[in-house]
Every structure is written in C-alpha cells, then in structure tokens.
Amino acid sequence: MKRIVSVLMMTCFGARAQADAAPITFTFPAAPAGQTLDGRLLFLLSTDPADEPRNQIDPTVDSQLVFGTDVENLRGRTLSVPVNALIGYPIRSLRDVPPGEYNVQAVLHRYETVHRSDGHTITVPMDRGEGQKWNRAPGNLYSKPVKMRLRPGAALRVVLDQTMPPIEPPNDTKYIRHVTIKSKLLSEFWGRPIELTAHVLLPEGFDEHPNARFPLVVAHDHHRGDFPGFRTEPPDPELKPDYSERFHLAGYNRIEQQEAYAFYQQWVSKDFPRLLIMYIDHANPYYDDSYAVDSPNVGPYGRAIHTELIPAIEKQFRAIGQGWARFAYGGSTGGWEALAVQVFNPDFYNAAFAACPDPIDFRGLTNIDIYAHKNAYYIEGKHQRVLQPGQQDADGRTLATIKSNNELEQALGSRGRSGEQWDIWQAVYGPVGSDGYPQPVFDKETGVIDPEVAKYWREHSDLSAIVKRDWATLGPKLRGKMHVYVGTSDTFFLANGVYYFEEMLKALDPPADAEVVYGLRFEHCWNGDPTRPNHLTRLRYHTMYVTKMLERMQKTAPKGADLSSWRY
C-alpha cells in the first residue's frame, strides 16, 4: 500500500478558531470480514530525531507530544477525526502546538471485547506478551514516522500500514527455566484464556542433587519477559557505553552487566545457599502487573498465583513447599506486592522484604491523603492553590506533578485504560463502576476526590489500615515477618506511606517486631543498604536479603524440617 502523508494545516495549531481546524484522516488496512477495529488512536509529534515518536512519550519534562481518542466498532478503512476530539499531553490541545517541523506518527492500540464473569462486557487492551506497552504490543497498527514542516492550507492524512510483530519468548538455559500455565480462575473471570508465566532461577547443582528440596523465593517486579539481573558471561567488551540521566553515570549498561555477572559468580559459589527464585509475569488489561492480589476489576490474581502457579512451580522444581521455606521480596510495585502477599497470606510466607513500596498507607498516596484531602491535584488555601508534585529528584526538585501524570494517562486511554500507574491503582484498589470499568477515586479532569471510593480503598487495599484492623488475628502470624526499606528522597514520594505505616506498627499490641529502615537522601528504589550508592544496591536484590532469610528459617523451621538437603 502506498504511504500517503502530507502536512497538517497550521490552523490546527493555534492561530484560528476551532471551527476552522481541519480534521485528520487516518487510513487503516482492510479488516477481515465481520471484524471491526477498536482501540485507542494515538497521534504523535516529536522534535527529537533520535527515535520514533512512539518511543518518546513518558511522564518526564522531556516527553514528546501525544494526542489520543477512542476508536469504536470501525468497519471502514478510513476515519476522519476532528481536532477537538483529541486529548493531548503534555500540550492539552492540538491547536496549541506551535508551528514548526515535526516527526509525525500514529498508533492504534488494539482493544478486545471481553465478557467477564461478573456480567460486564468491556473493551480493553488484553496483553499480548509485551507487558502492556502500547508502543510495541503485537498486532497494533502504526505508521512510519515522517518528518514534515507544518504550514497553512494543508490537510493531514496518515496511513497506518505497519503491524507490530509478536514478542519472541525466551529460551530455557541451564539455570533459567520458563513455565507458562493457563489459569482456570483468571480464564473464567475474563471469559477467555489467560496465562501466567514464571521465570525460575535454578540453584547450582540442581540436576546433580535429585534428592534435594529447596526453599522458594518469589521476587515481585514489573513484567520482565525473562529472569533479570543474571549473566553467565563477563560484560561485553564491545558494548557501547550509555549514559544514565537518573544516576548521572556514563556506562551504566556496563555496570548492569558486571553486577549481573557478579551475581552469577556468587550464585554458583561453594558457600551460597541453594534456593529457587521465581519472577512472575502477570500483565493484564490495565497494567504490566496485577499487584498479585484479588481485585474486582483485574480478577483473582492473588488466588491464581498462590493456588495455581506457585504449586505448579514447587512441584516441577522440587521446592520444600511449606510456609517456613517461602519468602517474598521486591521493590516499588514489587515492594507493595511483597508486603501485600505476606499480609493477605500470612501463613504462606515466612517473611517479606518490601523496598520502596508503592503506597502502603493511603494517607500517604504519594503526596495525597485520600481520606482527608478534597483534591488530588492541588494543595488548596483560602486564596490560592498549588499543584501537588508527583515526582522529584534526589535534591527535591519537582520533575512532574500528579496532575501532569494523569493528563498523560488521559491522552493514552479513557476509562482507566492507559496502562499507567494511577489507572492500575484505581483498578486494583477500587470498585467496579456501573459501566464495568474501574471507578475512579478522583475525577481526572478536576482532581476532586470521591470519599466513598476512598472508603472502599481503605477497607480492601490499604495495607496499613488492614494490618491495624485485623491485628488480633494477624499478629501471631505476622510478627517478625515484615521488613520495609525506603529512601527519604524517594522519587515518587513513597516514603510518605511508610512513615504512616511505621507509626501504625509502633502502636500495635502485641508488638509487630517489624523492621522499617530509611535511607537518608536515597531516591527510588533504595533497598536497605546504606553503605553503597543506589545505582549499585538496586541491582543486588537477589542477594540483599539472603542472610536474613537463612536466619529466619533456622529460627522458625518446625521440628524435623529439611534444613540440610539444599545446603550442599
């Protein structure tokens, strides 16, 4: 198909009234007979030639431009979209974009209609192995980027004649195995097949010691696609060094390879304990991660992981399969998950190590107290209001606001379908709305908080409130199991929730015997080591907590427990 792209008339970019703005025409490949196109149509503009526009959209101040609108039941091959139907980020309206030269691209993030077991029929972007990333989801349509100079009197026609390819699954190796199961629970909930995947790191000598049984460590993180941070070869001497803006370091990719190789050397060393470590891929229509708990919008992921996936892994790889020999750890989203699975399954794990966790007390939902504040976007006074910061650097400088984070989500998807952070929080923590989509805890246009939804969050997902409420029964099962680490300068203000959580813990009777540690001026995602810079410690999760796990098992294992077959 011939690719046709011309320039957008300048009246769409600020000089004239809305009525003068020409619509944009998008052309798609012919759909198979009887099928329609549904999804989020994204129109992208960039002034940075370093990459395609679809790879340059993010919550930072350096983001390029994205404008989005929904496509529903499209049967034809063309769609004419009025300029005012597109909602944008970081510039809200397309007509406010300055004239100039841009790389132009369009993406259709494909949606699927599903019939859930709760009776709701909704249209959502089901994950296709990519980890809920609209810019590389298999089957998404897109146009090749074209450079153009905007000038008056020209309309725009964009042809989406490219299709994003499938994601190639990783290969098994001596140490890393990949296991995918079809989840009966999740498939029933979503009304179509849903799979869970585990990436399992096997201990040295696994095949040579067939009678050994091993403790299991569940490492929680975002969608990985493979086991991260493990490398059996020295760093590639030909690797071109990159530059980390976050850490202001040249060659950080080489540091990552060196740390991954160092972990391998430690893993196979004579004295390192023989453990199983598994990562879980559980992307869903709302995010690259389910948060590993049951929720009315996302489904019974907690039960699926704990009654379907983990038992299958333990059986296949000879795990001990008892609570005293299971542990969880993770950082950020994984930090919340590690603590949550321990709280909601107190006997299933022997300890959880939660680094820089997503808000574990919603009085500190980053900078918002959703129970006391009226507005999520603004600190409001008698005569003025100030935007709430949503992201900071280690020196406290604001990098993004809560409002701008949510404007990005509004551009990427309506009804909670952006695949971004605030949308997954409302999907996991909140109730189902009357339309079948997640009920927002605050209005994304105004920031006004819904107190009834906030109450639901407290009852079902506020880990601090749940531990306090249920301590009479949880106390005997959780004492000594909760470990939390966070930097006081966390990039996303995640220390705030930890402060409230610690305050709650101190008032418990009997005592929680929990560990809460702060790293002064450390940012995201500090995990408890005050002796090394964060750019190193964040690469050492796999070995950070092993000593404490061993001590805990020695202390709590029942009489006659296997404490030796895996210490060869």
CA distance to 67, 254, 527, 537, per residue, from 533 (Å): 39, 16, 11, 7
For the chain, the straight-line distance linking the first and the last C-alpha, in angstroms and rounded, comes to: 63
Instruction: Report pLDDT digits (tens) over 103-130.
Output: 999 999 999 999 999 999 999 999 999 9
- In degrees and rounded to multiples of 5, residue 43 shows phi and psi of -110, 120
Pairing of strands 216-220, 162-163: unpaired
DSSP per-residue codes, 341-383: HHHHSTTT-S-EEEESPSPSSGGGBTTB-TTT-SBSSEEE-SS
- Position with higher pLDDT, 33 vs 306: 306
The three-class DSSP label of residue 189 is helix
**Does residue 389 carry a pLDDT above 90?**
yes
Q: Which of 1-5, 267-271, 434-438 has the lowest mean pLDDT?
A: 1-5
Each residue's pLDDT tens digit, 163-202: 999 999 999 999 999 999 999 999 999 999 999 999 999 9
At 152 the pLDDT is: 53
Quote the Cα angle for 316-265-556, to 5°.
55
b (16+ CB within 10 A) / e for 261-274: bbbbeebeeeeebb
User: Taking the model in full, what pTM does it have?
Assistant: 0.94
